[in-house]
Structure 1
Amino acid sequence: MTEHDDLIEIARTSINPHRVGGRLFGDVASALETTTGAIHVGVCIDTGSGTGFCAEHAAVASMVTSGEYAIARIVAVWRDDDERLTVLPPCGRCREFIRQIDPSNIDATIVLGQGRTAPLRTLLPEWAWPEPEPPRRRDTP
């Protein structure tokens, strides 16, 4: 048993596939633990119009809804037709999304598989952007 098996199992039990036409919902699930120890889960939604979202987005939305923003660790999983479970790394959009929710999330642990993890900063190189300058005040005549 590895350190993050508990989170992987929580995500696995959240998988709930549902097909509508050619679209599959809920076949990827994510579980995250906040820095306070709260657990949040979410599933992916695939839509034909491109308005869907990844499982990590849904788990983060649950976290934010509860008033938390800092992630200690996060995982996403997918189960194939033969019931094999695969841990999935977050896509680039999810990596950036997680980073922007709270500055501390750059150090969140991303579970990459059985016994494999990485801090978000490792998976999102060159993430730092300069702070925007405040708007200049126009002098009125």
Structure 2
Amino acid sequence: MMSEDGQTTLSPNDELIAAAQAVVHPHKVGDRLLGDVGAALLTESGNTYVGVCVDTGSGTGFCAEHAAIGAMVTAREYRIARIVAVWRDEAGLWYVLPPCGRCREFIRQVDWANIDTEVVLGRQLTATLRELLPANEWPDPLD
């Protein structure tokens, strides 16, 4: 992004995106690929945690967001201010990936206040988890 004086400026999301990119180091195990998606999150207290995905044949693997959240919880933090996941294709192009449904629910359940977490969808684009996880309120009873 360029400023009015022609200088390159970073978007608010660039630092978090770069942290997620830094941990992407794909590793093949048979027909599975580990570490090809990286995630980074920023906590409400200003700490950054990262993680990578682990794809397993038995379905017991997990997304990069889960790994980053696990690192955060290990440090006894629970409130996510902002989160991003990235992937690089074979041509070397980077993509920001929106969290899957399982990740969206996982973010929500770690701390109820995470419904207002900013989810990075691009350099200049974010949405709250509330916007990405519709019908998130506990329902009223039928009768």
SS state of the match for residue 58, structure 1?
Answer: helix
Gaps of at least 5 residues in structure 2 are 1-9
Cα distance between partner residues in 2 of 1:30 and 1:129 = 29
**In the alignment, which residue of structure 2 is the partner of 1:39?**
48
Q: Which runs of 5+ in 1 are unaligned?
A: 132-141
Q: Deviations over 1:10-51 (max 9, x none)?
A: 000110100000000000000000000000000000000000
Instruction: Specify the alignment match of 1:99 in structure 2.
Output: 108
2: CA distance, partners of 1:121 / 1:37: 21
Matched, 1:119 2:135: no
* Alignment deviations for residues 30-75 of structure 1 (CA, whole Å, 9 cap, x no partner): 0000000000000000000000000000000000000000000000
Matched length: 131
Matching of residue 129 in structure 1 with residue 119 in structure 2? no
Residues 1:48 and 2:57 aligned together:
yes
- Structure label with greater radius of gyration: 1
Sequence identity (%): 61
TM-score, normalised with respect to structure 2:
0.89
1:106-139 per-residue CA deviation (whole Å, 9 max, x = no partner) reads 00000001200001000000011259xxxxxxxx
TM-score by length of structure 1 reads 0.91
| Structure 1 residue 8: Cα displacement | 0.2
Paired with 1:53 and 1:130, the residues of 2 have a C-alpha distance of 29
Q: For 2:138 and 2:109, how far apart are their aligned partners in 1?
A: 11
Match of 1:86 among 60, 74, 95: 95
Match of 1:9 among 18, 21, 35: 18
Match of 1:136 in 2: none
Q: How far apart, CA to CA, are the structure 1 residues paired with 2:124 and 2:95?
A: 13
In structure 1, C-alpha distance between the alignment counterparts of 2:84 and 2:63, rounded to whole Å: 12
SS in 1 for 2:106: helix
Partners of 2:71 and 2:47 in 1: CA distance: 11
Runs of 4+ in 1 over 2 A off after TM superposition: none
